């Protein structure tokens, strides 16, 4: 079957990108040649930022590239490390701060707002780093108002990282023609229509004289069936006899990296009147981290949906027992693979009461 035919056999996507590649292939040079549409870009001279946003990733066949990754295990001093092959030192950003909820990193480093080349290199580097998604399960507060019945967090990062470092699924997208986005104004617009890729956007941002400007890289997750997981968790907790309110959320830490002018450029007067001034927001680039090749559908196998690591159903089979145990034992904190091992390796696992919440 030809590649074109293979692509057409996939379920229809709301919109498709023109050149999907791994972030390690990012370049500042000229845009891709005509006729390479829907093909993984292999040349280092291809400007992969001349692309469009998608609400869903492209078909699985166009996600796969053979370009060697700069994050390959061979580049690590300890290839047997249990940590994922990420250069964690790159998360350390000069003159930066983290929002209270951990979702946004803000940097005020001067060169990022005055030197377009420095900004481009920074965005390219940060686009190769994944965000940190996790599941947060909360019971209601106890009578003392200090502790909750349970407060559980589960790290989901490994489910978005391909085990084969040569086959990266993550890709980078730049805002496309006729797409609403913050293009240097305080509101979303379809203009200006930039043809020069990330280089031109960075140049426009650095030339902007307003001290209320910002440039944002968004790290976006896609195709994760969080609704299925939430439903399974709620049913499991209800089966324990817990009748109070349960809060389940899917936070993402380090989901945005925002570049601001140096704080020293903010005069007292400008700070005072800033709520009345127009903010110059540039939010035109995203690093997309898919959970799977396609959105969740009723018959995923028939649709050809493939997951980076494992399906949501397989994950639930592995984690449901330890999640239930963590709930009935009123756990507070992170629950990890170590807890699964501890639970399964116990010679005689303790049996929780049929209704541990009866006193409530």
| Residues 22/168, Cβ–Cβ less than 8 Å | yes
Task: Give the pairing type, strands 256-259 and 132-138.
Answer: unpaired
Structure tokens at 72: 């390959």
For position 274, what pLDDT does the model report? 58
CA 254 – CA 216 distance, rounded (Å):
12
For position 326, what pLDDT does the model report? 94
Q: What is the separation of C-alpha 44 from the centre of its chain, rounded to a whole number of angstroms? A: 24
Find tokens 């018959």 and name the residue.
299
Q: Can you give the residue range of the structural domain that contains 8?
A: 3-317
Predicted TM-score (pTM) above 0.85: no
Contacts of 327 (CB under 8 A, 6+ apart): 137, 139, 150, 152, 236, 237, 240, 242
For position 275, what pLDDT does the model report? 60
In a domain, 346, yes or no: no
| Residues 40/51, Cβ–Cβ less than 8 Å | no
In a domain, 342, yes or no: no
CA-wise closest residue to 289 among 244, 252, 235: 252
For position 163, what pLDDT does the model report? 73
97-119 confidence digits (pLDDT tens): 999 999 999 999 999 999 999 99
CA 260 – CA 78 distance, rounded (Å):
36
Structure tokens at 49: 């930022």
CA 212 – CA 267 distance, rounded (Å):
11
Of all helices (H) and strands (E), which one includes residue 328?
helix 312-328
Residuewise pLDDT in 10s, the chain (360 residues): 444 444 344 443 333 333 343 444 443 443 333 333 333 334 333 343 444 444 444 443 333 333 334 444 444 344 445 788 889 999 999 999 999 999 999 999 999 999 999 999 999 999 999 999 999 999 998 777 778 999 999 999 999 998 776 668 999 999 988 899 999 999 999 999 888 899 999 999 999 999 899 999 999 999 999 999 999 999 999 999 999 999 999 999 999 999 999 987 655 555 555 565 778 999 999 999 999 999 998 787 778 899 999 999 999 999 999 999 999 999 999 999 999 999 889 887 666 666 777 654
CA 309 – CA 97 distance, rounded (Å):
32
Query: Which SS3 state, helix, strand or coil, does residue 259 take?
Result: strand
In a domain, 348, yes or no: no
In a domain, 84, yes or no: yes
Q: What is the DSSP letter of 95?
A: T
In a domain, 354, yes or no: no
Report phi then psi at 140, rounded to 5: -75, 165
Q: What is the separation of C-alpha 293 from the centre of its chain, rounded to a whole number of angstroms? A: 15
In a domain, 334, yes or no: no
329-340 confidence digits (pLDDT tens): 999 999 999 999
In a domain, 306, yes or no: yes
Number of separate domains in the chain: 1
User: CA 202, 208, 212 angle in degrees (round to 5)?
Assistant: 105
In a domain, 347, yes or no: no
CA 112 – CA 202 distance, rounded (Å):
9
Sign of CA dihedral 138, 140, 146, 149: negative
| Residues 322/340, Cβ–Cβ less than 8 Å | yes
């Amino acid at each position: 079957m030809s590649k074109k035919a293979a692509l057409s056999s996939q379920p229809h996507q709301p919109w498709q990108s023109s050149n999907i590649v791994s972030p390690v292939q990012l370049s500042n040079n000229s845009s891709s040649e005509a006729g390479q549409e829907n093909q993984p870009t292999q040349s280092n001279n291809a400007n992969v930022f001349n692309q469009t946003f998608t609400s869903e990733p492209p078909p699985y066949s166009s996600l796969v590239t053979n370009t060697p990754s700069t994050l390959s295990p061979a580049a690590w001093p300890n290839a047997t490390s249990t940590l994922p092959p990420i250069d964690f030192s790159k998360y350390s950003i000069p003159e930066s701060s983290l929002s209270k909820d951990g979702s946004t990193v803000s940097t005020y480093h001067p060169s990022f707002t005055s030197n377009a080349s420095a900004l481009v290199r920074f965005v390219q580097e940060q686009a190769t780093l994944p965000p940190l998604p996790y599941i947060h399960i909360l019971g209601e507060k106890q009578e003392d108002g200090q502790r909750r019945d349970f407060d559980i967090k589960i790290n989901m990062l490994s489910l978005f990282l391909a085990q084969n470092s040569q086959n990266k699924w993550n890709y980078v997208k730049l805002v496309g023609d006729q797409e609403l986005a913050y293009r240097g104004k305080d509101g979303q617009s379809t203009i200006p229509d930039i043809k020069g890729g990330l280089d031109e956007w960075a140049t426009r941002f650095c030339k902007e004289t307003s001290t209320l400007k910002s440039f944002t890289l968004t790290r976006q997750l896609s195709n994760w069936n969080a609704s299925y997981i939430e439903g399974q968790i709620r049913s499991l907790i209800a089966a324990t006899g817990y009748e109070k309110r349960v809060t389940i959320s899917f936070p993402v830490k380090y989901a945005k990296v925002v570049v601001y002018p140096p704080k020293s450029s903010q005069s007292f007067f400008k700070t005072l009147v800033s709520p009345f001034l127009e903010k110059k927001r540039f939010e035109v680039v995203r690093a997309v981290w898919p959970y799977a090749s396609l959105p969740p559908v009723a018959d995923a196998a028939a649709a050809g949906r493939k997951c980076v690591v494992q399906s949501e159903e397989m994950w639930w089979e592995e984690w449901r027992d330890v999640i239930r145990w963590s709930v009935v034992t009123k756990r507070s904190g992170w629950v990890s693979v170590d807890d699964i091992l501890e639970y399964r390796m116990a010679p005689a696992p303790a049996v929780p009461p049929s209704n541990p919440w009866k006193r409530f």
